[in-house]
Structure 1
Amino acid sequence: MTVYEELKARGLVAQVTDEDLIKNLINNGKATFYIGFDPTADSLHVGHFMALCLMKRLQMAGNKPIALLGGGTGMIGDPSGRSDMRQMMTPETIQHNCDRFKEQMSKFIDFSEGKALMVNNADWLMDLNYIEVLREIGPHFSVNRMLAAECYKQRMEKGLTFLEFNYMIMQAYDFFALYQRYGCNLQFGGDDQWGNMLAGTELIRRKLGEDASAMTITLLLNSEGKKMGKTQSGAVWLDPDKTSPFEFYQYWRNIADADVLKCIRMLTFLPLEEIDAMDSWEGSQLNRAKEILAYELTKMVHSEEEANKAQESSRALFSQGNAADMPTAELSKEDLTDDAIDILTLLLKSGLVSSKSEARRAVEQGGVSADGEKIPDIHEVFTSEAFTESGLVVKKGKKSFRKVVLKGV
């Protein structure tokens, strides 16, 4: 099976400009390709995960990745998929975020000599002369076609600023600059970036008379059509200080049955034959598939050691409700009254609920347990002796839990 055939079999290919040309490039290791990452936070998240996996796959096949950090475009903000304008960031914040991205990407991509590049579009965008851009680039863009692009439609309803309107031109210029500087002949991006990517191939054709290619990869959506990688507390980050390896593992361990095989196919490097054999799995076998998915992705992002620890802790949580490596909440003696704390206060102070009324409902509905024992009474109290050295594991529902530790015990 060729590299391109495997990408299709894994469900990664969405739209392409010239399929035969792209096949030839990546199957023969002739692609110098780029994917852009705008530094809107100080960590990459699950939304970037598929792009990083794709870069790794293609590099393993002999192609050369360019990770483009958006130090310049980050000054503007991508309007794609937005109903409001992104918050403006300072140059210092953007640079800090770019530095953090580089650390995380190095776990996926080999940046040793000649293997891959990491560049920042601030190197060319920040020094552009406005009049020169208008004269040299402006004539090649039709405003009517730009306004028809999917990436602008949502913003048009609430008002698209001129600042954001320029984002497509800047992204097109990126491809143009990378083509000239590094021989970059292929751009990858999410399916919501199609309009911006076509603008780049068109600019190269009009300015240089050359052909460059673009391919969008399927967005990682769950069975309800929503982007994956979000929880009630926010994004699932690749930075272990923002989302611990255990929480990262648990996110994948708890995805819906309908999504697990798709995620294994799109995100892991397991052989397709092995994944195809899972197609008939059902019931408890799907829980095994979720463990495989969670383990493989945690190993890729955080190391095999962290994946083993997370798996052991997860299994312990579901068996006897006690694990060494899980999200922890600390209480002090001041949190206790007469050397005891009631279950509603415990749920609130551990961060499992946002109010005592929510805690009350959770207990009354039978969804709360402590060290594996269901708590039936909203008046249940725990003395300091309940908080052993290893902590008290408090669980709300199937997926929310904390190891609660009493400091000084």
Structure 2
Amino acid sequence: MPSSRISGFYNIPPKERAEKVREFANLTNDDISVLQSILPIDDLDRMIENVIGAFSLPYGVATNFLINGRDYLIPMVIEEPSVVAAASNAARLARNNFGFIAKATKPVMIGQIQLKTDTPHLSKMMILNEKEDILKIANDKDPVLKDLGGGAEDIVCRILMNQLVIHLLVNVKDAMGANIVNTMCEAVAGRIEEITGGKVILRIVSNLAIERLAQAYAVFRKDDIGGEDVVDKIISATDLANADPFRCATHNKGIMNGIDALLIATGNDFRAVESGAHAYASLNGYHSLTTWEKTKDGDLAGSIELPMPLGVVGGGTISPCARLSLKILGVKTSNELSCVAAALGLAQNFAALRALVTEGIQKGHMKLHSKNIVKIAMESMMDNESSICNNNDIINKVADLLIKEGNISVGRAKEILKNITNHA
């Protein structure tokens, strides 16, 4: 299999990048065309209500990832500059050791059933006594899933505020699983009421998927990342995140930058993963989803653990772009996709922390941001002024000058552009 270590990927034109990805993932012409077209309106209309069109975001590819000994190119859909580049650079540094090692637990989702009852303790015992009957009712809603080795596997009961909360544990295999879990919860609600004499209120999946965790770790050599002082600073920055929720919210957001971008590219429910991740980080006081430690050799060891309820079948994964993303990744199971997501989140956190404790976060953002500022300035100018300078060479020239001057503003960009047009 070809390597994901592609030197200078960001420097080559987009069409050549697409060709590199085509070679890596054995894509066809039709595959590539998916990236440059909008879904037919009828397909869009089947996905959500009140459709009038589609909204486009940049589709990039993170290079250099070596996960569990296998090379990956990771599709990412995101509007924020430097995120894809940062992930690629972190992956390049990680592969100087062994890359990322990742694993995921069984794809078990939790369905919650809220029972209003005057006798929650007694009701708990009665439900557990009839567990096999309840599980059968749930599995009758999807016998195919049961035949595939999945289905409702267990019941856990929790007593909260004199109410009984029943957790239906469902192995959803390669789906995200929300729909089948919700269906099973609704199916067993009547039987639970019969058994207990109580009244079911809620029947819904939980996005705090503690039974469906993904983990990853990597070791970055101190000499590759700026020395032992950088190692110590990254650890100190993470200590602050664990002590201060104001810092930790941004710290964990950086992790989700990469994970969300992958989930959007693969048609997964990034909102469910976001809510589950932040809830998981709050279980024992809001804390970092990653840990950073110094090895005996002074290198930086990082690890991550978070809920990762992903699917490679069903839901948004049926869209052409999502199918293409999964083809580029080459993943076959939801667990493998979860491993990739965890590794990406760890890489993103490392890249953000390293930038923060050294050169600052803005340097990587500024090149693309300055180009956007120039484009905004052009659009605000009169047609006869902007027509001469509306080309990539001028955009790059003006953007570089804005960065050099340290004045990245629309006003200054317009001044430079007007000067160019006056001398053209």
TM-score greater than 0.5 by the shorter chain: no
Question: Which range, TM-score by smaller chain?
Answer: under 0.3
When the two structures are superposed, what TM-score results if normalisation uses the length of structure 2? 0.23
